[in-house]
Homo-oligomer: A and B are copies of this chain.
Amino acid sequence: MAELNKSWILRQRPVGDLKEGDLELVEAPLEPLKDGEVRTRLIYLSLDPTNRIWMSDVDGYLPPVGIGDAMRGGGLAEVVESKFDGLKPGDIVNTGLATWSLYSNLPGEALNALPRLPGVPLTAYMGPLGATGMTAYFGLMDIAKPKAGETVVVSAAAGAVGSMVGQIAKIQGCRVVGIAGSDEKCRWLTETAGFDAAINYKSENVGAALDEHCPDGIDINFENVGGKIMDQVIARLNDFSRMPLCGLISTYNATEPVPGPYSFSNLLMRRTLLKGFIVIDYFPRFPEGIQQMAQWLMEGKIKFETDIVHGLENAPGSLSRLFEGKNLGKLIVQVSEPPEV
């Protein structure tokens, strides 16, 4: 009996939080492989806040996923069949923007076999060496341009992007303050990731804590969250501050219009540079970012955590972990067995 593919299909646009029935797991025969393509079997599926944007019919940075189409997404996959000269079965690739499917037929030209780095687990390609690591690297280094001695605040600091931002900023000689949603995350930030301070926004007064931990104001706000926390941070920005605008996760499930920050006028008074960015814009520069991050990883200067859920069937139900702040580090669905190291 021929093996079947499994894909999550978008059946209806979620209203507010993603609910059962918005997506459906469907089995279908494998599609024939064309010349130039490789068939991949997904090992790790990346779950990211931006997945939720793609399900809504909003004016996002990519068109929304069509109703009846497989959910957009990607991760690490193993080549199982190849009609492309540059890749062979057993190669591990980053699929880029594919779908929430066990098997995918992908153009080989867009893929590279990932090198294995000594002492670095394969999951690093889902974190520091993957899209979230590149988001942190380019957002901080290319937009914010940190200088030694500056104060950097990062929200969703224990998340896949935030935890990298803070550690890269520390390597640059900055004072780093993270905002996260549990004492456990805050401990990880200061004890493992080397942050100077961490603020639990669920139990602390964020404004007062920022005043305490940022006595010289805030030079860089790496924004992942939006909402009231962002408002508090913007109100404390220094002259000529920079604000890479990476995400607004607090608003992605909103069903009503969300006001911008009440401290908006401070962007004028403080002459702040705010720059929205999406990591795909940096795709041509990924090799540069991966090389630098890989070096720091091998030097032990970057720690990372993964939050691994098992089984493609659990992908939609696990996405909420991001919005409820349950994950520490990169949220990944292990779809099939990774290769032996």
Q: Which residues of A contact B (CB under 8 A)?
A: 59-61, 226, 239, 245-248, 251, 257-278, 281
Q: Given A59-B269, A273-B275, list of 16 further CB < 8 A pairs?
A: A61-B269, A245-B268, A246-B268, A247-B268, A248-B264, A248-B265, A257-B262, A259-B264, A260-B262, A267-B276, A268-B278, A269-B276, A270-B276, A271-B275, A272-B275, A272-B276
Cβ A262 vs Cβ B259 within 8 A: yes
Integer count of this chain's copies in the complex: 2
CA distance A258 to B265 in the complex (A): 9
Collect the chain B residues with CB atoms within 8 Å of residue A257's CB.
262
Collect the chain B residues with CB atoms within 8 Å of residue A270's CB.
61, 276
Cβ B281 vs Cβ A276 within 8 A: no
Cβ A271 vs Cβ B278 within 8 A: yes
Collect the chain B residues with CB atoms within 8 Å of residue A261's CB.
259-260, 264
CA distance A239 to B277 in the complex (A): 10
Collect the chain B residues with CB atoms within 8 Å of residue A258's CB.
262, 264-265
Min distance, Cβ A132 to any Cβ of chain B, angstroms? 16
Collect the chain B residues with CB atoms within 8 Å of residue A259's CB.
259-262, 264
Closest to A242 in B: B275
CA distance A259 to B260 in the complex (A): 6
Closest to A53 in B: B269
Collect the chain B residues with CB atoms within 8 Å of residue A269's CB.
59-61, 276, 278
Known: A260-B259, A277-B271. A59 touches B266 (CB 8 A): yes
Collect the chain B residues with CB atoms within 8 Å of residue A59's CB.
266, 269
Collect the chain B residues with CB atoms within 8 Å of residue A260's CB.
259-264
Known: A259-B259, A262-B260. A248 touches B268 (CB 8 A): yes
Collect the chain B residues with CB atoms within 8 Å of residue A271's CB.
61, 275-278, 281
Closest to A273 in B: B275
A274's partner among B226, B247, B274, B277 (CB-CB below 8 A) is B274
Collect the chain B residues with CB atoms within 8 Å of residue A251's CB.
265
CA distance A281 to B268 in the complex (A): 12
Please list 20 pairs of residues, one from A and one from B, whose beta carbons are closer than 8 Å in the complex, sorted by A's number.
Answer: A59-B266, A59-B269, A226-B265, A248-B265, A251-B265, A257-B262, A259-B260, A259-B262, A259-B264, A260-B262, A260-B263, A260-B264, A268-B277, A268-B278, A269-B278, A271-B281, A272-B276, A273-B274, A273-B275, A273-B276
CA distance A281 to B271 in the complex (A): 9
Min distance, Cβ A323 to any Cβ of chain B, angstroms? 16
Closest to A60 in B: B269
Cβ A267 vs Cβ B274 within 8 A: yes
Min distance, Cβ A257 to any Cβ of chain B, angstroms? 5
Collect the chain B residues with CB atoms within 8 Å of residue A264's CB.
226, 248, 258-261, 264
10 tightest A-B contacts by CB?
A260-B260, A260-B264, A259-B259, A268-B276, A274-B274, A260-B261, A267-B276, A257-B262, A271-B276, A61-B269
